[in-house]
């Protein structure tokens, strides 16, 4: 980075300062989001060494994914993204070309989702890191929450499960050449597609609850149903992606177990009443995976699934 | 940190999930800020090695200041803080006691300002780092902006200038024992007091613009007036703090120059029309420092002040 001043010019060249939802844009002590609507707010870290490696993430991949994971949280509220702030931790040795590519890619995704960059902060750092907070406006029935399902509700997903984990494993094992051997899996890890349109369609279709899968279906399910309910899942291996099957076959792994443990899917997990599921079923990608049970715990294809806890700190 | 789950319990023990301005608190994909009002939004990084050192910042100092610098931006809008999100980069080796002290101190400052922790993210990291986004509701005349002054307006500050820089220099030179030799300066650096009440009083007093001083008066003034105006400053050395005088005397530095170059003051800089300054003058700590000039640049005590540019990256 040549200088902070130059970087701010680069930001201005990629990101507009104006948006219908902004009463005041970048450049003051704060930006101002216009009132008149509730806002949903999410905040996510994207850190070199923890969430990505520069070995196989290009500058464009990093800029894209740092924002995408935040947009996915807004999609999971059935909401419409409007704005974000970015705190950037920048190693001094990264060249202007890196930042240009990083910002161009992030700005492209922001534009697709009609989001404005409202502000942020910049600091030197040993490692590259991005902290983004993103804001969304309510969908047609307001915001969709977790823990809003009952015994007998239909559980469904939209989007692949386990595919991003396949991509991560392949990239870690084979590096950049995994882009050729398992292209869909690699793209699912590098460039997860936030399902904003799907989220708003599901919202309008009258579903009960929605969340995004970031730690894998098995770990996220109890967060979705709450601790007093469980899930009886039927997952047909044929619904899983070919790249996942190829990876699991080569590694001698069970594809369904691998899929339900897979993190960073950024697919959506939802619940809908069986008496009210007609519209939801017509949403593109809707995949019924089971039902909500009275008993906590997960039954997977007829057998109790022992859910291995995962903790970023204790493991 | 023992585990992520334990840390989230610790968070819950220190921070309420509920607040008048929150329709939905921590624990879902997003939190939800209630509509009906505009929100100002700011975002700041607080990184080990860049913004603080653990040599002389206690866990409580770090937790306090990471939030304080964000609150200061809201104060500078003449606004009322309501909520914040925190992305935390946590080295694995910090003990529970550290986190308890860190969170207790941050929660104390949040409570003083009636702010709720609305969400965030947690990741391992080599170095400790905190990225906070904070939200504020408008004061009595809305939000106070920069670049909203004219030729002849009175410039004023509230709060010490240069004192935090004195503290930083002393801490860097002498370490923790500077807490005894220059206690006010050290506290100004470790525990800057966000001037929320002052900001709202100034807002109600009909001033024209306000900002917080984070990079030093000399560097922040052009950002406040805009590039087409300047400032004629009269700063009486007697208005500067004794700790600053003591430091400058020992180091052979000019106290006024040192003061106007001092960063991280988190004091307020404002402008008010001379025809309308009566109420503002009665706000505690109001200190007239000069007037807005037609010509860009700074005149300091009768002489042109050559403003040395500062860039976090190019220097």
Greatest extent of chain B over all pairs of C-alpha atoms, in Å = 60
Do A170 and A285 lie in one domain? The reply is yes
Give the length of chain A.
315
In a domain, B145, yes or no: no
Across all residues in chain B, what is the average pLDDT? 96
Number of Cβ within 10 Å of residue B304's Cβ equals: 10
CB contact at 8 A, B233 and B96: no
Position of tokens 């006010």? B184
| A165 and A117 belong to one structural domain | no
B164 and B300, same domain (yes or no): yes
Smallest CA–CA separation between A302 and chain B, in Å? 29
| A32-68 pLDDT tens trace | 999 999 999 999 999 999 999 999 999 999 999 999 9
Three-class secondary structure assignment of B22-48: EEECCCCCCEEECCCCCEEEEEEEEEE
The mean pLDDT value for B68-83 works out to 98
* Distances in whole angstroms, Cα of residue A72 to Cα of each of A78, A92, B3, B7: 10, 30, 25, 24
* Measured distance CA(B118)–CA(B39) in Å, rounded: 14
Whether residue A298 sits in one domain with residue A162: yes
Each residue of A231-265: pLDDT tens digit? 999 999 999 999 999 999 999 999 999 999 989 99
**Residue A5 with chain B: CB contacts under 8 Å:** 311, 314
pLDDT at residue A315 above 50?
Answer: no
The confidence score (pLDDT) of residue A89 equals: 98
Residue B175: which H helix or E strand, with range? none
- CB contact under 8 Å between B51 and A79, yes or no, is no
Residue where a domain terminates, one of B90, B110, B137: B137
Q: Is residue B165 part of a domain?
A: yes
Cross-chain residue pair B3–A313, CB shorter than 8 Å: yes
Composition of chain B by helix, strand, coil, percent to 5:
35, 25, 35
Which one of B108, B137, B166 terminates a domain?
B137
- Distance, in angstroms, between B204 CA and closest chain A CA? 18
Q: How far apart are CA A246 and CA A261, in angstroms?
A: 17
Residues B260 and B216 reside in one and the same domain:
yes
Strands (E), B176-315: 209-212, 230-233, 268-272, 286-293, 297-300, 303-305
Q: What is the mean pLDDT of residues A93-111?
A: 97
- The total of structural domains in chain A comes to 2
Which residue among B7, B44, B89 places its CB closest to the CB of A121?
B44
Q: What is the pLDDT of residues A160-194, one digit of tens each?
A: 999 999 999 999 999 999 999 999 999 999 999 99
To the nearest whole angstrom, how far is the Cα of B252 from the nearest Cα of chain A?
Answer: 31
Q: Quick one: which H or E segment has residue B106? A: helix B96-112
Neighbours of A197 (CB within 10 A): 13
Q: How confident is the model at residue A309 (pLDDT cuts 50, 70, 90)?
A: low
Phi, psi dihedrals of residue B262, rounded to the nearest 5°: -75, 125
Asked whether residue B315 is assigned to any structural domain, the reply reads no
Question: What would the pLDDT profile of B137-159 be if each residue is shown by its tens digit?
Answer: 999 999 999 999 999 999 999 99
Residues A160 and A298 in one domain: yes
> Which chain B residues touch A227 with a CB distance below 8 Å?
none
Q: Considering the domain boundaries, does residue A143 fall inside one?
A: no
Instruction: Please indicate, yes or no, whether residues B111 and B167 belong to a single structural domain of this protein.
Output: no
Annotated binding site of B for Mg(2+): 29, 42-44, 73, 121, 212, 215
Comparing alpha-carbon positions, the chain B residue that sits nearest to A93 is B313
Classify residue A43: in a domain, yes or no.
yes
β-bridge pairing B80-90 and B297-300: unpaired
Residues B26 and B158 in one domain: no
- For residues A281 and B315, the model is more confident at A281
CATH number of the domain bearing residue A234: 3.90.650.10
Distance of CA A293 to the CA centre of its chain: 26
Cα–Cα nearest to B26, from A131, A145, A22, A164: A145
State ipTM: 0.95
**Distance, CA of A156 to chain centre:** 17
Residue B314 banded pLDDT, cuts 50, 70, 90: low
- How far CA B303 is from CA of B21, B233, B254, in Å, comes to 49, 9, 14
Give the mutation candidate from A10, A22, A23, A28 for the B interface (greatest B CB count, under 10 A).
A28
**Looking at the structure, do residues B162 and B277 belong to the same domain, yes or no?**
yes
In a domain, B286, yes or no: yes
Q: What is the pLDDT of residue B315?
A: 46
Specify whether the CB–CB gap between B285 and B201 falls below 8 A: no
**Which CATH number belongs to the domain containing residue B131 in this structure?**
3.30.1330.10
Q: Given phi > 0 = left and psi -120 to 50 = alpha, else beta, which region is A304?
A: beta
Q: Which of B7, B27, B116, B133 to mutate to test the interface with A (most CBs of A within 10 A)?
A: B133
Same domain, yes or no, for A175 and A53?
no
Is B310 a residue whose pLDDT tops 80?
no
**In terms of domains, do B182 and B125 share one?**
no
B120 and B168 share one domain: no
* Domain housing A92: 4-137
Instruction: Please give, rounded to a whole number of angstroms, the shortest distance from the CA of B220 to a CA of chain A.
Output: 11
pLDDT band at A310, cuts 50/70/90?
A: low
pLDDT of residue B313: 72
**Is B87–A86 a contact, with Cβ atoms under 8 angstroms apart?**
no
Asked whether residue A149 is assigned to any structural domain, the reply reads no
| Structure-block tokens of residue B113 | 């300002």
User: Over the stretch B89-138, which tens digit does the pLDDT of each residue have?
Assistant: 999 999 999 999 999 999 999 999 999 999 999 999 999 999 999 999 99
Angle, helices B183-190 vs B59-75, to 10°: value is: 70
- Domain edge (last residue) among A80, A105, A137: A137
Chain pair A-B, CB pairs under 8 angstroms: 218
- The span from the CA of A218 to the CA of A188, in Å, is 19
| Reported confidence tier of residue A76, pLDDT bands at 50, 70, 90 | very high
Contact call for B30 and A51, based on CB within 8 A: no
Question: Taking every pair of C-alpha atoms in chain A, what is the biggest distance, in angstroms?
Answer: 60
The count of residues in chain B is 315
In a domain, B55, yes or no: yes
């Amino acid at each position: 980075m040549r200088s902070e001043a130059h970087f701010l010019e680069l930001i201005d060249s990629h990101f507009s300062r104006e948006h219908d939802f902004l009463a005041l844009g970048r450049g003051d002590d704060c930006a101002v989001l216009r009132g008149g609507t509730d806002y949903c707010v999410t905040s996510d870290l994207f850190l070199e060494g923890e969430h990505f490696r520069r070995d196989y993430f290009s500058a464009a991949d990093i800029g894209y994914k740092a924002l995408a994971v935040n947009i996915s949280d807004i999609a999971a509220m059935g909401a419409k993204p409007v704005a974000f702030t970015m705190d950037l931790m920048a190693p001094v040795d990264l060249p202007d070309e890196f930042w240009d590519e990083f910002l161009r890619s992030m700005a492209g995704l922001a534009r697709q989702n009609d989001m404005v960059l409202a502000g942020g902060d910049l600091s030197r750092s040993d490692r590259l890191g991005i902290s983004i907070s993103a804001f969304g406006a309510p969908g047609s029935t307001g915001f969709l929450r977790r823990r809003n399902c009952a015994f007998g509700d239909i559980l469904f997903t939209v989007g692949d499960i386990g595919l991003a984990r396949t991509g991560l494993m392949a990239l870690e094992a084979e590096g950049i050449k995994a882009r050729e051997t398992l292209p869909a899996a690699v793209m699912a890890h590098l460039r997860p597609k936030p399902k904003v349109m799907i989220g708003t369609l599901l919202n309008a279709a009258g579903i009960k609850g929605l969340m995004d899968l970031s730690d894998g279906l098995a770990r996220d399910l109890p967060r979705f149903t709450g601790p007093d309910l469980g899930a009886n899942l039927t997952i047909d291996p044929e619904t899983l992606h070919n790249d996942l099957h190829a990876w699991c076959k080569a590694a001698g792994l069970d594809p369904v177990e691998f899929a339900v443990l897979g993190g960073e899917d950024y697919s959506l997990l939802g619940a809908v009443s069986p008496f009210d599921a007609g519209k939801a079923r017509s949403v593109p990608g809707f995949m019924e995976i089971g039902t909500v049970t009275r008993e906590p715990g997960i039954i997977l294809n007829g057998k109790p699934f022992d859910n291995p806890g995962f903790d970023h700190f204790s493991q």
